[in-house]
């Protein structure tokens, strides 16, 4: 057993370690180097965004610590990853003079939402995944239409399903394959995406391979099923498949050798769930975030209690 941290310095190091791991936990990895590499990728894209990422991880971890969370779970970064994503999402999807403060506050609230949802999902022997961050972000975007301290960003565009039309045509850009990794953290540039992939490989070679396979399956499925080319090029149809592939094959408890088949199926399904959620959220202008990953992974995680061979 680890000795309890007593000095301020020890406590600070523990906090930073848990927070950086919180960043890597977004991709199911508990590894400081992976966390730092992902952070570097975000900082390269935008320094304010990188500061929001680490600030959110720290805030979430601090709230969980004050809340009295289990110390071992806390030090694994578990109470940081939803906060990281919330902070980034609030910062990117909302507009207002002090939005960085709001992003950090939301990151803190996310830790509480995470705790609440743990009490729900554990009763079904399932995981919260990134659901806490999704529900908080959707709710908060809803708030922004009504309270003037914050405004919906330019990318939040409520539309009407009745007169909505699919965007046709466009030429395919294979960069979408790599952007699918970057979009996990909302980024569409190449270098950060490559760093994120590297971070996954550092954490686990196996996860890295599955990330690539997941991205390819999502990308090919979206093409095959006829998704809009502009969205495919941005990596918006495959980032959920990346997370789903890793989770279904490697993170969830699996008792057999055929999990990769289930992983391919679940990744394929995440593309259809993405399309469906886009339809249902259109009227509010809400982004699907990682909800397709959550639904597809929950489907398998729950089904495995009844179908042990999948």
We find the least distance from the C-beta atom of residue 216 to its own copies, in angstroms, to be 18
Residue 170 engages its own copies in binding (rule: CB under 8 A) = no
Residue 172 sits in the site that holds its own copies (CB under 8 A):
no
Give the nearest distance from C-beta 192 to its own copies in angstroms: 27
**Choice between 4 and 226, CB closer to its own copies:** 226
Tell me the closest approach of the beta carbon of residue 122 to its own copies, in angstroms: 9
Question: Out of 10, 139, 190, 205, which residue is the one contacting its own copies (CB under 8 A)?
Answer: 139
- The nearest distance, CB 148 to its own copies, in angstroms, is 3
SS (H, E, C) the chain: CCCCCCCHHHHHHHHHHHHHHHHHHHHCCCCHHHHHHHHHHHHHHCHHHHHHHHHHHHHHHHHHHHHCCCHHHHHCCCCCHHHHHHHHHHHHHEECCCHHHHHHHHHHHHHHHHHHHHHHHHHHCCCCCCHHHHHHHHHHHHHHCCCCCCEECCCCCCCCCCCCCCCCCCCCCCCHHHHHHHHHHCCCCHHHHHHHHHHHHHHCHHHHHHHHHHHHHHHHHHHHHCCCHHHHHCCCCCHHHHHHHHHHHHHCCCCCCCHHHHHHHHHHHHHHHHHHHHHHHHHHCCCCCCHHHHHHHHHHHHHCCCCCCC
Nearer to its own copies, 202 or 300 (CB): 300
Which span sits near its own copies by CB under 8 A: 30-38, 63-71, 178-186, 204-212? Answer: 63-71
**Residue 272 interacting with its own copies (CB under 8 A):** yes
Residues of this chain, 200-239, that bind its own copies according to CB under 8 A: 222, 224-228
Positive or negative, the CA dihedral 129, 152, 100, 242 is: positive
Single residue of 10, 142, 205, 206 touching its own copies by CB under 8 A: 142
At its nearest, how many Å lie between its own copies and the CB of residue 142?
A: 3
Smallest separation (angstroms) from its own copies to the CB of 150:
8
145 binds its own copies (CB under 8 A): yes
- Supply the minimum distance, in Å, between the C-beta of residue 247 and its own copies: 15
Q: Which residues of the chain form contacts with its own copies (CB under 8 A)? A: 64, 66-70, 109, 112-113, 115-120, 123-125, 139-140, 142-143, 145-149, 158-162, 164, 166, 222, 224-228, 269, 271-273, 275-280, 283-284, 298-310
């Amino acid at each position: 057993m680890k000795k309890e941290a007593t000095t301020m310095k020890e406590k600070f190091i523990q906090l930073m370690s848990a927070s950086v791991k919180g960043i890597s936990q977004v991709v199911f990895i508990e590894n400081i180097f992976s966390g730092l590499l992902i952070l570097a990728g975000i900082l390269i894209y935008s320094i304010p965004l990188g500061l929001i990422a680490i600030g959110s991880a720290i805030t979430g971890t601090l709230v969980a610590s004050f809340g009295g969370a289990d110390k071992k779970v806390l030090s694994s970064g578990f109470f940081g990853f939803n906060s990281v994503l919330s902070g980034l999402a609030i910062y990117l999807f909302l507009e207002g003079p002090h939005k960085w403060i709001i992003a950090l506050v939301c990151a803190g609230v996310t830790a509480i939402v995470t705790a609440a949802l743990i009490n729900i999902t554990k009763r079904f022997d399932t995981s919260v995944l990134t659901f806490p961050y999704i529900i908080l972000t959707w709710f908060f975007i809803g708030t922004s239409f009504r309270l003037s301290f914050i405004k919906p960003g330019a990318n939040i565009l409520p539309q009407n399903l009745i007169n909505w039309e699919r965007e046709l045509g466009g030429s395919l850009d294979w960069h979408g394959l790599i952007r699918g990794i970057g979009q996990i953290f909302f980024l569409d540039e190449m270098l950060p995406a490559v760093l994120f992939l590297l971070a996954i490989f550092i954490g686990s070679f196996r996860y890295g391979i599955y990330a690539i396979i997941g991205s390819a399956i999502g990308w090919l499925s979206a093409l095959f099923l006829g998704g809009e080319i502009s969205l495919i090029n941005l990596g918006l149809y495959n980032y959920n498949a990346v997370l789903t592939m890793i989770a279904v094959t490697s993170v969830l408890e699996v008792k057999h050798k055929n999990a990769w088949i289930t992983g391919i199926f679940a990744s394929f399904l995440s593309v259809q769930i993405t399309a469906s959620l886009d339809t249902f959220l259109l009227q509010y202008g809400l982004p699907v975030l990682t909800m397709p990953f959550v639904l597809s992974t929950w489907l398998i995680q729950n089904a495995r209690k009844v179908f042990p061979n999948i």
